[in-house]
Amino acid sequence: MKLVNGHLKMHYCHSMAEDPIDDITEFNRRSWNASRYSAWKSRFGSAEAEAARIAGNPKRVLRRLSPHIGEVIGKRICHVQGSHGRIAVALSLLGAKAVVIDFSEQNRRFALDLAAAAGVTIDYILSDFMDAGNNDQVGRFDLLILELGVLHYHQDLDGFFTVARELATDDCVLILNEFHPVQRKLFWNEGPRDYFETKLVEADVPNPDPTKTSLGKCRYRFWTLGDIVTAVVHAGFTIVKLDEHPDLADSTIPGSFTLVARA
């Protein structure tokens, strides 16, 4: 990525055939472990401060998901690539058995500190999600949650949702609340500006620290809505709802979407 005429321009990586998926995963893992714990502390003040805010109103953390979740007491719920653990902690406070699968040790450290400060227990499995189906300790889930910034880290979308289906109970619900491909591909400053672009792009890993200091690069694959819907169906899920939501900065374009599917 470089600055051209005052605008950030993406660096396009080699084709996927030239970049083995395992190498891309490791490339992204390194960036997600670069000063991530201190970045979360900078963003939230401290684990103790954020835990107090979540405990005061756990449903606020779940506001984008609540219309689709239903009763959570006693349910085994997995937040896929659950990062800092805020959603898992909120679910646990409401009576769920919350699990996070994520490959960042620094994310895990902050999430467990957050849970301890909130007085709850979450299970944080340090793993690439694509390996989770081979881990006997993972088990199966009544609810799978994927939220805002998950799919673009994966180059095998069919494989990703196949793993999700393997981890789902027979009556599991999958809730995918994601950035809308139109917003990410066409209107996001770091997007490819081509809805049908399939090449990997390289850009800074998201940094929650207000300073926005670079914590390293990640490699992303931006999918179309058709790609996503097709992969969900191919994996064996039945889609029951697909809601599109306006962008917060420009209500004339889609900003995110919520897909609900049943196993």
15 has pLDDT over 80: no
Whole-number Å distance between alpha carbons of 160 and 13: 21
Please compute the mean of the pLDDT values over residues 120-129 and round it to a whole number. Answer: 96
Please compute the mean of the pLDDT values over residues 241-255 and round it to a whole number. Answer: 96
Query: Would you place residue 11 in the very low, low, confident or very high pLDDT band (cuts 50, 70, 90)?
Result: very low
Q: SS3 of 219, please?
A: strand
Q: Where are the domains of the chain?
A: 37-196+222-262
Buried b vs exposed e over 191-211: b needs ≥16 C-beta within 10 Å? bbeeeebeebbebbbebeeee
What number of CA atoms fall less than 13 Å from residue 36's CA on the CB side? 23
Torsion, Cα of 117, 119, 122, 124 (10° steps) = 20
160 has pLDDT over 60: yes
Query: Would you place residue 5 in the very low, low, confident or very high pLDDT band (cuts 50, 70, 90)?
Result: very low
Please compute the mean of the pLDDT values over residues 130-134 and round it to a whole number. Answer: 92
Please compute the mean of the pLDDT values over residues 163-188 and round it to a whole number. Answer: 96
Please compute the mean of the pLDDT values over residues 134-150 and round it to a whole number. Answer: 94
Instruction: Name residue, tokens 């139109």.
Output: 182
Query: Would you place residue 18 in the very low, low, confident or very high pLDDT band (cuts 50, 70, 90)?
Result: very low
DSSP state of 130: G
CATH class, range 37-196+222-262: alpha beta
Write out the DSSP string of 149-161.
S-GGG-S-HHHHH
Q: What is the pLDDT of residue 131?
A: 94
Query: Would you place residue 16 in the very low, low, confident or very high pLDDT band (cuts 50, 70, 90)?
Result: very low
| Tens of pLDDT, residues 176-215 | 999 999 999 999 888 899 999 999 988 888 888 777 788 8
* Nearest by Cα to 187 from 244, 247, 257, 259: 247
